[in-house]
Amino acid sequence: MLDVFAHPQPPGVGRRRRPARRLALISLLALAALGVAASAAQAAPTVGNATLTCKKIVVTYSGFPNLPNNTIKEKVRIDGVTNAIVKTFVFNGEEGTDEIIINLPPGEHSVDLFSIWKTNGVSGNRDQFLGKIKCVTADPELEVEKLQKYSNKQKYTKELLKLGHEGNVVDYEIIVKNSGNVPLTLNFKDLGCDEGTISGGPTGPLGRGESTTYFCRHTLTKADVEAGSRCNTATVEGEGEGGPVTKESNTVCVELPKPGVNTTFGCKTFVVHLSGFPNATNTVKIKITVDKKVVVEEFFTFTGPEANFTYEANLGPGHHSVDVFVVWKTNGFSGNRDQTLGQGLTCPAEPGFSIEKLQKIEGRTEPFTSTELEAVAGETVDYEVVITNTGNTSLTFGALNDPKCDEGTIEGGPGINPVPPAGKTTFTCKHTLTIQDEIAGQYTNTATETGTPPPEQGGPVTHESNTVVVHVGEII
């Protein structure tokens, strides 16, 4: 570069001087270019120096695209054995840290990690010789996973098998992995498998990192059905350097529904309790007979293993024969249950009734109601008194006692007297609002009635109705 300070020029001779502003702009552009280059270098994928122990390799990846499913293929060379471990590591975003389980056996070992990627538009690799490491501890370990399926199915699962029947054959698959760092000689036990059905397993010691599979089966029995379920667990013992190790598998279960019916009989209600059904939508047919007369015959659908069906019997005074018959053919299960009370039911007399008063303003479209209303003097209030026999005896009703109805307006009452249990009767009456009602501001009304049961079935019963209110305003 020319040293302009060492060779000064006379004024007006030689080089033209660049304006200071232009020089500053060139400098800024150069710095920006350097910054972009530095930023690009920082964004390039990198592989951190891996750490090595006798159990695992830990390696961190950074600078990858901020996208999902960045994928790295990792290959580990141990003691000169290429691809001793091959693994694919997938992570989301710019960074990810992976642990590669190696479980080195006792002794001195050399380890190399090769990482390669071609993912989300970037590619590259790094080969790291991690050096030599001396391992002195024998660490025997096992992993045991149990799966099951019905013999006529193709897919094994750890999930509950539903709808088991006596005679179904359950196949088991038990996968055993040597997750320690020394070979193990295995002893497999599964007391839940039928005798002579166990097969598979290794032909010799199971090497570190290796897996083997055992098979066995069980035919569901009557005892299993009585228990309601059949669960099974396998145990594997491993013998090797570092002492024996024992591992138990997960537990797998088969559901064996055992539908049952139990009825609670009462003079007012029968409650039919259904239990032990499949945990699904079930349908049963229920037939209830009282005094040799069928009072209920219908299908009842419910979801889940149990439900209650309630029949409002409200049996009259005296002795009754009762019977409940339930039959089902649902979700692969069929059966029936017939329940009869040998001594029947003897029910006492329990006379009773309800009385409800309703009102509406005559000429308006609104229906009868028990809520408060608004009206003015001169309008007429129509009343309706509904009486329901809620007891188990017939009741004879007399005239309605309603002094606040206008004289001569009470009508209705029992068409059939006495009124049978669950029967209803309705009285009606009217009142035309007056100036006195307007002065009072409101008009209230309550009715009273008495029901008399047959001889020797209790005494007369008297009830007062609810009170209804009309607010009476001024005529505008």
Q: What's the CATH code, domain 46-135? A: 2.60.40.1940
Edge to edge, what strands does the sheet with 293-303 contain?
Answer: 293-303, 281-290, 322-330, 333-340
Q: What tokens were used for 166? A: 């006596």
Q: H/E/C letters for each residue in 297-339? A: EEEEEEECCCEEEEEECCCCCEEECEEEEEEEEECCEEEEEEE
Percentage of the chain modeled with pLDDT above 90: 88
The yes-or-no verdict on residue 29 having pLDDT over 60 is no
Q: What tokens were used for 60? A: 């961190």
Query: For 279-301, how does the pLDDT look when each residue is reduced to its tens digit (9 = 90+)?
Result: 999 999 999 999 999 999 999 99
Q: What's the CATH code, domain 353-473? A: 2.60.40.740
Higher pLDDT, 28 or 109: 109
For the chain, the farthest-separated pair of C-alpha atoms sits apart, in whole angstroms, at 146
The confidence band for 355, taking pLDDT boundaries of 50, 70 and 90, is very high
- Comparing 24-33, 151-160, 230-239, 266-275, the range with the smallest average pLDDT is 24-33
Query: For 296-348, how does the pLDDT look when each residue is reduced to its tens digit (9 = 90+)?
Result: 999 999 999 999 999 999 999 999 999 999 999 999 999 999 999 989 999 99
CA distances from 77 to 128, 367, 383 (A): 10, 89, 97
The confidence band for 42, taking pLDDT boundaries of 50, 70 and 90, is very low
Mean pLDDT of 165-193: 97
Mean pLDDT of 445-458: 96
CA distances from 223 to 74, 220, 255, 262, 306 (A): 52, 8, 13, 22, 22
Mean pLDDT of 97-118: 97
| CATH fold of the domain at 142-255 | Immunoglobulin-like (2.60.40)
Give the model's pLDDT for residue 475.
66
Give the model's pLDDT for residue 39.
41
Q: Do domains 260-347 and 353-473 have the same CATH topology?
A: yes
CA distances from 156 to 111, 151, 216, 400 (A): 38, 10, 13, 75
What's the mean pLDDT when you consider all of the chain?
91
| Bond from prior residue into 453 cis (ω within 30 degrees of 0) | no
Among 227, 22, 54, residue whose Cα is nearest residue 139: 54
Burial of 445 (0-12, 13-18, 19+ CB in 10 A): buried
Mean pLDDT of 72-83: 97
Mean pLDDT of 96-103: 97
Mean pLDDT of 180-190: 97
Query: For 168-179, how does the pLDDT look when each residue is reduced to its tens digit (9 = 90+)?
Result: 999 999 999 999
> Where along the chain do its domains lie?
46-135, 142-255, 260-347, 353-473
Alpha-carbon distance of 221 to 84, in angstroms, equals: 47
Using an 8 Å Cβ cutoff, are 144 and 96 in contact? no
At position 116, the amino acid (one-letter code) is I
Q: What tokens were used for 94? A: 């710019």
The yes-or-no verdict on residue 142 having pLDDT over 80 is yes
Alpha-carbon distance of 178 to 159, in angstroms, equals: 24
Task: State the DSSP code for 89.
Answer: E
Phi, psi of 415 (to 5 degrees): -75, -35
Give the model's pLDDT for residue 476.
58
Give the model's pLDDT for residue 342.
87
Give the model's pLDDT for residue 85.
95
Among 244, 245, 247, 303, residue whose Cα is nearest residue 274: 303
Helix (H, G, I), strand (E, B) or coil at 173: strand
CATH 2.60.40.10 fits 260-347, yes or no: yes
Give the model's pLDDT for residue 43.
63
Q: Residues of 413-441 as b/e, b for ≥16 C-beta within 10 angstroms? A: bbeeebbebebebbbbbebebeeebbeee
pTM of the model: 0.66
The yes-or-no verdict on residue 421 having pLDDT over 80 is yes
Q: How many CB atoms lie within 10 A of CB 191?
A: 8
The yes-or-no verdict on residue 387 having pLDDT over 50 is yes
Using an 8 Å Cβ cutoff, are 440 and 472 in contact? yes
